[in-house]
Structures are given as C-alpha cells and as structure tokens.
Amino acid sequence: MPPVAPPLTPRALRTRWAVARLQRLARSPDGDGNAAPPFGPVAAMGLSFASPIGLAAGFDRRGRLLEGAHRLGFGAVEMGTLTPADRCPVLSGRAADGVRRGVSIGKPRHVGWDDAEHAWLRALRAFHAGADYVTLNPGRDCPSPARFAALAGAAVQLRNRLARHRLRPLPLVAKLTSRWLNGDAASVIGVADAFVAAGIDGLLVSTEGRRARRNVCAVLRALSEAVDPRICLISVGGIDSVDEVEARLAAGATLVQVHRALLAHDPRLLRSLRRGARSR
C-alpha cells in the first residue's frame, strides 16, 4: 500500500491557502500583483535582488510563488526548509526573472546531531544546482552555535568543491536563532564571528519573541559595525510595516524577510509596503 500522507495541521492549511491567494493576486492583470516593487533593487552576496523584501522560509516551501513573486514586490523566495529526502521540482526549472531562489536546508527531525553534518551536506548536494543562495537552518534542537558554525564550515568546503559546476560559488547563509542573540553585544558578535570565520556569506538574524524583537535594531547595529561589510545581514521576525522594514535596513540589514504578517494580512500588507515606500 502507498504511504498515507499525514493530515495537514491548521497552520499548514492556512499557509497553503495564503500561497494560493497570492498566486491569484500575482496573476491578476491590473490588481496588486502588477505594480513596481516597494524599495529599490539591492546587491548582496554577489547577486542582485529586485527588492530587499523576501518571503521567509516555511511560507512557500516548494516555490509555488517564484513565478509571480516579483509582481508582488518580493526580491527573493526562501523555499524550504528542505531535507535531503524532499523533492522540489521547481528547483530543476528555469529561474524566474528578478526573484532570487533561496533554499533553506536542514536535517530531518529524526536525525540526531551526531549525524547532522551528513544530512546537511546531502541536502546541499541535492539543492545547490537550482538555488541562488542556500540558508543553513539549525532547527530547534541545535546544541550550540559553535556546533552549528563547525557544520557551516563543512558546508562551505563542500560548496567550494561544487563551485566548479557553477559560474560563481553559491552564497551560503547561516540562520542565527533568537536564543543565540539575547546576550550582550560582545556575545552576539562572538556568535557571528564563528560563522564568518567558517566562510559563510550571510547571516539570517532571526528575532522571534518579545525580548529578541525589542533588541533587534541594536543587534543589527552591533553586527553591522563589527563584521566584515561583505557579509550580508538579513533580518527576519516581526516585520509588518514599512517603518519596520526601514528600521531594519537603517540598522544594517541589507535584506529583510516577512512571514506571519503576510499570512495574516496579505494584500493589505503588500499595499501598505508599496504605499509607504512610495511616499518616502
């Protein structure tokens, strides 16, 4: 008997519904899906992004919005998080104009941290060819940033070996989870330095929860002053308005990502981002 897929959780159903709604919106000839992106193009990690605003991982796991995302005002879609056994047909297709394909990779939940490196490297091999950049997602059970930075170092080495199949090496981003960013500036910089030393190209600074949210601009400022300016800082967590986008960019982020605010208020959020950005 073929395996039975587990039922979708209400959250997963809500996300699917939102993706389908945004797909329709992107296709509408004269609606919200046909305007210039809010905020101008930016360059980061050797890539050009039509807009600094991207879709965060978990929203569009399989890249269904890739084709229409530029019409919605996004510069990137971060697919995944994908594990080595996942299939993602869109990653073998042609890249959509102007929208960068990020792929978040991780290990399956049942794989322990002793075997984690193997899982990440398999995922990197599986998805590197179709991605513009890859984000390493530590997941919830990562024992420490040092452990994850060591894994990032192994991923950088594999990325460099795979580079001969590409025009340029694939940019690698490490996701820093909120719980690693709650200390003082010195400890936050210490965490970031380990990933920079490992050779990654970007840091996805994730701020979830009230405490992390309160400190986010201070964290971004500390990082942007301390780390090599070639390292791209991407801010995610609590971005729900133009003011919030502007604050993150002013504090040192080059790119930002949205998730829950879009889930809750999709066309309204897109419209307000566009209106707010135009009136600047």
Ligand X SMILES: Cc1cc2nc3c(=O)[nH]c(=O)nc-3n(C[C@H](O)[C@H](O)[C@H](O)COP(=O)(O)O)c2cc1C
Query: Is 81 near ligand X (CB under 6 A)?
Result: yes
Query: Is 236 near ligand X (CB under 6 A)?
Result: yes
Task: Pick one of 8, 11, 41, 118: the residue that binds ligand X (CB under 6 A).
Answer: 11
Q: Which stretch binds ligand X (CB under 6 A): 30-38, 55-63, 156-164, 219-227?
A: 55-63
At 102 the three-state DSSP class reads strand
Nearest CA among 144, 65, 139 for reference residue 102: 65
Considering beta carbons, is residue 25 or 53 the nearer one to ligand X? 53
Query: Is 117 near ligand X (CB under 6 A)?
Result: no
Query: Is 256 near ligand X (CB under 6 A)?
Result: no
Query: Is 108 near ligand X (CB under 6 A)?
Result: no
Alpha helices (runs of H) in the chain, residue ranges in sequence order: 10-27, 69-72, 116-127, 145-162, 185-198, 210-226, 242-250, 260-278
Query: Is 109 near ligand X (CB under 6 A)?
Result: no
Instruction: Provide the terminal-to-terminal Cα distance of the chain, rounded to the nearest Å.
Output: 59
Query: Is 64 near ligand X (CB under 6 A)?
Result: no
Separation of alpha carbons 200 and 194, rounded Å: 10
- Contact between 180 and 138 (Cβ < 8 Å): no
Strands (E), 29-159: 42-44, 47-49, 53-55, 76-82, 100-105, 133-136
At 48 the three-state DSSP class reads strand
Query: Is 137 near ligand X (CB under 6 A)?
Result: yes
Query: Is 178 near ligand X (CB under 6 A)?
Result: no
Task: Pick one of 238, 245, 248, 266: the residue that binds ligand X (CB under 6 A).
Answer: 238
Query: Is 104 near ligand X (CB under 6 A)?
Result: yes
Query: Is 56 near ligand X (CB under 6 A)?
Result: yes
Q: Which residue is nearest to ligand X (CB)?
A: 58
- The sign of the dihedral angle between the CA atoms of 175, 179, 180, 184 is positive
Task: Pick one of 51, 206, 235, 254: the residue that binds ligand X (CB under 6 A).
Answer: 206
Task: Give me the least distance between CB of 108 and ligand X, in Å please.
Answer: 12
CA angle, 234 as apex, 233 and 240 as ends, to 5°?
140
Contacts with ligand X by CB under 6 A lie at 11, 15, 56-58, 80-81, 104, 137, 175, 206, 208, 236-239, 258-261
